[in-house]
Chain A
Amino acid sequence: MEAIETLAQQEYKEGWVTDIEMETAPPGLNEDIIRFISAKKKEPEFLLEWRLKAYRHWLTMKEPNWQYMAYPPVDYQDIVYYAAPKNTPEYNSLDEVDPELLATYDKLGIPLEEQKVLAGVAVDAVFDSVSVHTTFKDKLAELGIIFCSFSEAAQEHPDLVEKYLGTVVPYRDNYFATMNSAVFSDGSFCYIPPGVRCPMELSTYFRINTAGTGQFERTLIIADEGSYVSYLEGCTAPMRDENQLHAAVVELVALKDAQIKYSTVQNWYPGDEQGKGGVYNFVTKRGACKGDNSKISWTQVETGSAITWKYPSVILQGDHSIGEFYSVALTRNKQVADTGTKMIHVGKNSRSTVVSKGISAGNGQNVYRGRIQVLKKADGARNYTQCDSMLIGDRCGAHTFPYIDVGNNSASVEHEASTARISEDQLFYCKTRGISTEDAISMIINGFCKEVFQELPMEFAVEAKKLLGISLEGSVG
């Protein structure tokens, strides 16, 4: 239809490069680089050994090619695996932080000072690889909550790191997770002690900044028995000409009666209208409901990156454990999002819910890929999957690959799917009520995504709606 065929282009609003001196490792991947990274971070011995095991295993692996996307081969020896702001800071207050860095945060709309007061969100801001600022730490510490950079955790809480690292995503897991295990730069670490309900939403802002720096974040969240935590991850990246590889790993561990809610808004640079220069976002996210009655909930809004490749999953080991996956993925121009989830039912009466909303515009391609697996002993396991696609224009695509593998007769697995277009009639109807085409599309899309947005924490939901609006701005003629 004519009204929504022309995809006008909008410049990426978060595109700039901050001019801060970086301390950068030479490009390339070898054992020396790994030792360099580990030494830089003053890591305990076990962690270096773990990295090296991962690296050696990685050398035996082949890059996967089953995904629904094509991208130019990545030269892994041409990537810089470590870049940290120079004079690695150990700041006591904001005054000590490089003003340029603070200016960058201002542009991102996340002034730390403001956020401390306004949002009640503790911010662990990751600027490239090293955490430069952590807030609210003292308040959290009173409750026994540990929320810090991964590097800090490795030094201060090596026992916890050693106990849980790689227990959900083993270093042999997959090509990119294994690479991450070898070279991960930094990330967040979070531990909630038994019976503690984390009183605020924990939040990390990631940012890719140095030209040619791959970013390999590693996040580990442990919710001990009977605890609760809600974690927010939001990302933007500056405009670059070359592709930036991002291969993060997120591991969640929920023990008995514990709950983890993990929300993501991802808005990395998607590339220009030809798809040039966008971020490759190859992420492994997985949670384990290790204890009975535990719950892990993933909510994601993916609007950025040239290629997104991620399947936040839950292993439902505990009896009566619950896994949830709520996703909105929007692709336009030449973006590809190959995303979905795996729900592995091991425990009795474990339940999972999957709601996936894919929106494709321009030449964008959206893939839902999901696996629901019910193991033999998972009596009474239940899954409900809903997978909806919306197409805007006639050059985009939506593809669905659901795998269902049931090994227990008492299980119930439901899959619903739909594909819709924004109809000319809907737009005309809105116009006769005085609502412009662009506002109408934004409204219809937000309505389409409602079930996912209502899972997001309030401020995040507002941001996500705005993001979809901005992403679709100019996508109608």
Chain B
Amino acid sequence: MALLEIRNLRGGIKDQDIINGIDLTVDRGEVHAIMGPNGSGKSTLGKILAGHEEYEETGGTVRFQDKDLFELTPEERANEGMFLAFQYPVEIPGVSNAYFLRAAMNERLKYRGEPEISAGAFRRLLDKKMKQVDMDPELARRPVNEDFSGGEKKRNEIFHMAVLEPTLSILDETDSGLDIDAMRIVAHGINQQRTADNAMIVITHYQRLLDYVVPDYVHVMYQGRIVKSGRKELAFELEEKGYEWIREEVEAAG
């Protein structure tokens, strides 16, 4: 059984479908890149999978770890092992990053019927993960994303991912707004988390992140559908030819 199976998914916002029939299978150990021009529905797919209240599925099925995804609340999906790294991470004033993550961690443990993590053990885990993703320890003490720079916010998302160890991570334009150095650090953090047991869906507009986070598969979205899938070389092709090429292909076929 695949980790994630999306069959003919449709959905969107306020009675308007943005996703118009997507099929996608993701297995453990795989990294899938989803590319496409602005407005093609990439981020909407991420939000529907994570369970954003304003987005709704209107057709199709999604099975995650052999469970009907839409039977699960957003927090249940998270505790089952799904993770969404935000394109625009949200600030939570007054709540320290470390406190927030420990609360999240304990929710996860509770969900799985395991005892809560001790303060000491959590501290050690944080230290280890901060090193892994090259995170300034100061940022763990500060309120979640408050007054973080754009790069720090994105790095914090990867830090959250590293601590929570999800089985499926959806990274929504994690590279946007980053300069090349910041992107390298973020990419390094992401690569640190790749294992044979987990999987990632990397949503990106540009190919450049994929130089560092090398995907197993690349899918191109256009008008709410995956119109082209291939191996990592497809990303290079896109970079070279631009999205206009896809548009022409689709229209020629349509």
Contacts and interface: CB of A to CB of B under 8 A. Distances in A.
Interface of A: 2-3, 423-426, 428-437, 439, 443-444, 446-451
B143 interface: yes
Contacts of B93: 447-448
Given A428-B74, A432-B83, A439-B103, A447 B52 contact: no
A429 B92 contact: yes
A436 B53 CA distance: 13
Interface string B63-90: 0000000000111001100111010011
A274 to B, nearest CB: 30
B104 A444 contact: no
B78 A447 contact: no
Name B's interface SS: mixed
B92 to A, nearest CB: 6
B164 A433 contact: yes
B94 A436 contact: no
27 contacts: A423-B90, A425-B90, A426-B91, A428-B53, A428-B90, A429-B89, A429-B90, A431-B73, A432-B83, A432-B84, A433-B78, A433-B101, A434-B78, A434-B79, A434-B104, A434-B111, A435-B104, A435-B107, A436-B107, A437-B75, A439-B107, A444-B94, A444-B95, A447-B92, A447-B143, A449-B94, A451-B94
B107 A432 contact: no
Contacts of A429: 86, 89-90, 92
Interface residues of B, number: 31
Contacts of A425: 90
A426 B92 contact: yes
B51 interface: yes
B104 A433 contact: yes
B50 A434 contact: no
A425 B164 CA distance: 20
B54 A424 contact: yes
A3 B160 CA distance: 24
Contact of A433 (B52, B53, B100, B111): B100
A447 to B, nearest CB: 3
Contact of A432 (B78, B95, B103): B78
Contacts of A446: 94-95
Given A424-B53, A426-B90, A429-B89, A434 B107 contact: yes
A444 B94 CA distance: 7
